[in-house]
Amino acid sequence: MTRRYFGTDGVRGVYGEDLTPSFVERLGRAATLWCGGGGVFIGRDTRASGPALERAFASGVASAGGNAVLAGVLPTPAVALLRQDLGVVISASHNPPEYNGVKLFDRRGRKLTDSDEEEIEQLLGAPPRDPDQGRVDNIEVALGSYLDHVLHRFGSDLSGLRIAVDCANGSYSSIAPASFEQLGAEVTVIGAKPNGRNINVGCGATDLQLLQQTVAKSGCDLGIAFDGDGDRMLAVDEHGDAVDGDQILAVLALDREVELVAVTRMTNLGFHRLMEEHGIRVLTTDVGDRYVLEALYEHGALLGGEQSGHIICLDGHVTGDGLAAGLLLCAALKGRTLSEAVAVMPRYPQAKENVRVRERRVSNAIVEEVERVNAELEGRGRVLVRPSGTEPVVRVLAEAEDEKEAKALSARIAALVERELG
């Protein structure tokens, strides 16, 4: 059995086209039936389509006899922490404003497994029950509860630190800057004026240029950028240079002296070399933060993440949290500049290409060529090809000791993907 609607991180699509209120209502009903009814805690990001989809999902919950609890705009990690029998986020994460989606967390605050999602899809055709059995409530205290928890578990004295904070015009717009200020930092704020149509547009973790310019212009010690729903965080050092999730995770792994860390296949080879030098075991998973989470829970580990900025610390949390990650990074500096802190990790040059395809798959010819190239490289680099879980593209990553070689490898394999699948 394969999933038709769920990708690597929930269900996503362009609002009004492949993601409609009627479908989301059916999804709400199916998810409520799957979890056995009870309380369904719902948050959303700042997209214009959010309120309509929030109401649709809540209607589906009520139609299955459940209790939908609407919390309004909340970061994804807040929903994971405050979930009831089910936690739901109406969000398309880092995607553009015209997209939206639905993310689900179980009663433990964990993302659903592939088999869980398959079971929900089997229930999409279920008819409504007696609507009088269910209800929809609104609450206003969720945001304060979440902030109290995160600041208590992950906060530290940030006095004297000058930070530029880019909220991506998303879920952290009203709370992240004030959180850093509360801990003593001097904060310059950008991307914190959501209007429903500007989430992730020219700002945030998907586009660091504005943050880089702001750090350079204002003389900040570092910049921190979130994505629209707050489960990802990237940084910019004092020189305006981008700092990715691999580098952030490397700094945290050494600072917290962990014995085990979980990453994905996209993680830079330089990270693996650094962890090997320090005797830290590395678990490598498929791409997607939920696979990193599964590995952490399975092995009883606390720290993991992705190059894209999903940073997970389970010491007082249940999922990846952009604000918590930003606070941990600031605490790990310990008087160093960010550029000094991340210099511990050598970075192999990487070249990436996204090839738009008719069908998200990888043909046998592509697999065979990738295997041949990787055998030739003998550990000096690698090529990785994978279908996107959220877009109609196949992603190509090439990594080598030399940037020119990485680009050549990437272009060669991308051309093959284009011929085979484009």
Residue whose C-alpha is closest to residue 224's, from 93, 149, 325, 90: 325
Residue whose C-alpha is closest to residue 174's, from 199, 148, 193: 193
Is 145 a catalytic site residue? no
63, 93, 173, 308: which one is catalytic?
93
Rounded Cα distance between 81 and 365, Å, is: 44
Q: Do residues 93 and 85 make contact, with C-beta atoms less than 8 angstroms apart?
A: no
Rounded Cα distance between 90 and 167, Å, is: 18
Give counts: helices (H), strands (E), the chain. Answer: 14, 19
- Interacting residues of 107 by C-beta distance below 8 A, sequence separation 6+: 35, 83, 84, 85, 86
Beta bridge partners of 352: 397
- Interacting residues of 413 by C-beta distance below 8 A, sequence separation 6+: 366, 369, 370, 373, 383, 385, 396, 398
Residue 89 tokens, joined: 């986020």
User: Could you tell me the end-to-end alpha-carbon distance of the chain, in angstroms, rounded to an integer?
Assistant: 26
Q: Do residues 271 and 289 make contact, with C-beta atoms less than 8 angstroms apart?
A: no
The residues assigned a catalytic role are 93
